[in-house]
Amino acid sequence: MKIGFIGIGKIAGAIVEGLCTSSTGSPASRPGDAPQIFLSPRNAEKSAALAEKYPTVTRLDTNQAVLDSSDIVIIALRPAVAVEILTGLHFDRRHTVVSLIPLVKDADLLPAVAPATDVSRAIPLPTVMKHRCPIPLYNASETVTRLFSAIGQPLPVTDERQLHALWTLTGLITPFYEQLGALSEWTTAHGVDRQTTDTYIADLFESLSYMAQQSEPIDFAELAQHAATPNGMNEQAGREIRDSGAHAAWISAADHLLERFR
């Protein structure tokens, strides 16, 4: 398998790391199993570091050289320049193209990569580096699904509207971490040392997410109700936070982010 990356920012770099350390790409796998990976010249420091770290990764001099060397092409360009860069390249029918670009829809993407017709879109997060990541996939072939299965958990969607709704949620990462940070400050202000505080907060919310993941089916309302014992702390905090409009602020932010896809 020969995989090329056009653009090598945080997400693309995490995918490379994930592929090179997965069972498919690790040195312990059978000879010939590890994919050959070709990186575009942009972000020279990151691409050079990855090429030095992994023997199956090569940094090439041009984007076209990446295309010419690859069967699967993963595009991780900034939305503002993506179409201009892609239309300047020569794609082939043999190429399987995966776009990680959030705001470039099929209407603009497909003509830019023609005559390639196996074109899909994906939403990986940096956690693909650790092989723990839900990855929504739109229009993904079996080859693409299998590739992302090596670094995360593929979630197929059937149309762009669904994809964009899920992509919107990735814009809530910063406020999520900021909320954890605010709780960290509150806890340390009450005398708990920083390391204990941050470890507990990170592990607490991970364990709650794990509980939801193990539910069949996942029902957030039922989980919330189960935790809210009468006159208990969760019932009190849930009521206070709902009444403050805090949840509505998250929905409002999501609405505004989704507008960017329209």
Q: What is the 3 state secondary structure string of the chain?
A: CEEEEECCCHHHHHHHHHHHHCCCCCCCCCCCCCCEEEECCCCHHHHHHHHHHCCCEEECCCHHHHHHHCCEEEECCCHHHHHHHHHCCCCCCCCEEEECCCCCCHHHHHHHHCCCCEEEEECCCHHHHHCCCEEEEECCCHHHHHHHHCCCEEEEECCHHHHHHHHHHHHHHHHHHHHHHHHHHHHHHCCCCHHHHHHHHHHHHHHHHHHHHCCCCCCHHHHHHHHCCCCCHHHHHHHHHHHHCHHHHHHHHHHHHHHCCC
The burial of 1, by beta-carbon neighbours within 10 Å (0-12 exposed, 13-18 middle, 19 or more buried), is given as middle
How far separated are the first and last CA of the chain, in Å rounded? 36
pLDDT tens, the chain, 262 aa long: 899 999 999 999 999 999 999 875 544 444 446 789 999 988 889 999 999 999 999 999 999 999 999 999 999 999 999 999 999 999 999 999 999 999 999 999 999 999 999 999 999 999 999 999 999 999 999 999 999 999 999 999 999 999 999 999 999 999 999 999 999 999 999 999 999 999 999 999 999 999 999 999 999 999 999 999 999 999 999 999 999 999 999 999 999 999 999 8
Q: Which domains does the chain possess?
A: 2-158 (3.40.50.720), 171-259 (1.10.3730.10)
pLDDT given for residue 206 in this prediction: 96
- pLDDT at residue 33, as a whole number: 64
pTM (2 d.p.): 0.90
Q: How far is CA 193 from CA 8, 49, 126, 189, 223, in A?
A: 38, 36, 28, 9, 30
Cβ(26)–Cβ(20) under 8 Å? yes
- Contacts with 36 (C-beta within 8 Å, 6 or more apart), sequence order: 1, 2, 3, 56, 58, 69
Which position has the token pair 């994906």? 122
